[in-house]
Amino acid sequence: MPKKVLRSQSVQYPYKVQLNKTKVITRDGVGTVTQQKSEWLFVKLDHSDRTVRTNIFYAELIETI
Angle at CA of residue 19, ends 13 and 59, nearest 5°: 45
Q: In this predicted model, which residue has the larger pLDDT, 12 or 57?
A: 57
Say how far apart CA 43 and CA 36 lie, in whole Å.
Answer: 9
Q: What's 12-64's CATH class? A: mainly beta
Q: Is residue 50 over pLDDT 90?
A: yes
CA atoms within 13 A on the CB side of 23: 9
Residue 59: is it exposed, middle or buried by C-beta count within 10 angstroms (0-12/13-18/19+)? buried
Residue pLDDT, tens place only, 2-49: 555 555 555 567 888 999 999 999 999 999 999 999 889 999 999 999
Q: Which pLDDT value is given to residue 39? A: 87
